[in-house]
């Protein structure tokens, strides 16, 4: 199974505390978002040494096979993937053999046989204009998640967040969002709270120092509040019965003796 998919599935889930009577060790909180970097130049992978990433996407479809395997050798345990349009079953097998962990599909022409491989993660690139009925059907398609085609950048405004939330709300599988530049802690928290499981940073627009800073920010994001916490923080609801004025009781007889 794809290592990236496993990391996404573990988001927000703390590891159980070890049993025994030894000294308790402080556990680090589980991450609530994943961070990926994308690059068009495979040789740029050497710059990512030591950056706490959850995945790397190589965007040129032509640079596959031994070229990517060599470039990815310096990533150590970081899962890497390739952006492709219409891969064949043989191409997917070659990518898996080279160590590829996932693919991002930019087209809908890929054959189902090409996607019949459980050793690799599959993400479909979707645009803002995707139809509602298509969004609802993505959950039962042979893909593990989607990558939103339109990147966002800081400063984010309420309208942009609402548009993203509308698209995200129609999609039942995991949702990765490309970002340009650096986002603030609060912006990342808002994206996380509408259901964005991870962000993808293009190294064309962000340097390694900024990528490192973003990784630390994501690691320190506060835990997402549950629906129960949101409900308890809101004003208590008052029923219509409780809102009725007391003097309304005078309009109704209290006993049969009052009926003339």
- Provide the residue ranges of all domains of the chain, joining segments of one domain with +: 31-220
Mean pLDDT of the chain, nearest integer: 82
- Mean pLDDT on 52-69: 75
- Mean pLDDT on 171-200: 94
- Per cent of the chain over pLDDT 70 is 76
Q: Return the structure tokens found at 252.
A: 């109704």
DSSP 255: S
Which has the higher per-residue pLDDT, 129 or 106?
A: 106
Query: Which 3 state secondary structure label does DSSP give 148?
Result: strand
How far is it, in rounded angstroms, from Cα 179 to Cα 249? Answer: 61
How does 141-174 read in b/e, with b if 16+ C-beta sit within 10 Å? eebbbbbbeeebeeebeeeebeebbebbeebebb
Would you state the pLDDT for residue 132?
A: 86
The per-residue pLDDT for range 23-55, each reduced to its tens digit, is 445 556 678 999 999 988 887 788 888 889 999
How far is it, in rounded angstroms, from Cα 66 to Cα 116? Answer: 23
Cα–Cα distance list, 254 to 106, 149, 231 (Å)? 73, 67, 38
- Domain 31-220 sits in CATH at 3.20.20.70
Would you state the pLDDT for residue 194?
A: 96
The per-residue pLDDT for range 140-174, each reduced to its tens digit, is 999 999 999 999 999 999 999 999 999 999 999 99
Would you state the pLDDT for residue 79?
A: 93
The per-residue pLDDT for range 220-247, each reduced to its tens digit, is 998 776 544 434 444 444 444 444 455 5
Would you state the pLDDT for residue 148?
A: 96
Of 36, 32, 37, which Cα lies nearest the Cα of 193? 32
């Amino acid at each position: 199974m794809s290592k990236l998919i496993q990391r996404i599935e573990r988001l927000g889930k703390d590891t159980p505390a070890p049993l025994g009577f030894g000294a308790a060790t402080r556990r680090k909180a589980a991450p609530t978002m994943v961070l990926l970097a994308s690059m068009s130049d495979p040789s740029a992978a050497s710059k990512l040494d030591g950056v706490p990433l959850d995945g790397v996407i190589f965007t040129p479809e032509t640079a596959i096979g031994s070229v990517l395997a060599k470039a990815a050798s310096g990533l150590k345990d970081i899962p890497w993937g390739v952006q492709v349009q219409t891969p064949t079953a043989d191409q997917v097998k070659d990518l898996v053999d080279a160590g590829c962990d996932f693919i991002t599909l930019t087209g809908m022409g890929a054959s189902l046989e090409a996607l019949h491989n459980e050793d690799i993660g599959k993400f479909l690139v979707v645009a803002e204009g995707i139809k509602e009925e298509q969004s609802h059907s993505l959950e039962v398609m042979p893909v593990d998640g989607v990558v939103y085609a339109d990147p966002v950048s800081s400063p984010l405004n309420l309208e942009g967040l609402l548009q993203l939330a509308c698209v995200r709300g129609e999609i039942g599988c995991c949702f990765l969002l490309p970002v340009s530049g650096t986002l603030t802690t609060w912006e990342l928290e808002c994206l996380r709270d509408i259901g964005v499981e991870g962000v993808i940073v293009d190294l064309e627009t962000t340097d390694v120092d900024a990528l490192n800073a973003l990784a630390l920010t994501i690691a320190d994001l506060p835990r997402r509040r549950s629906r129960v916490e949101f409900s308890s923080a809101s004003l208590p609801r008052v029923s219509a019965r409780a809102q009725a004025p007391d003097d309304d009781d005078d309009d109704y007889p209290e006993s049969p003796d009052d009926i003339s």
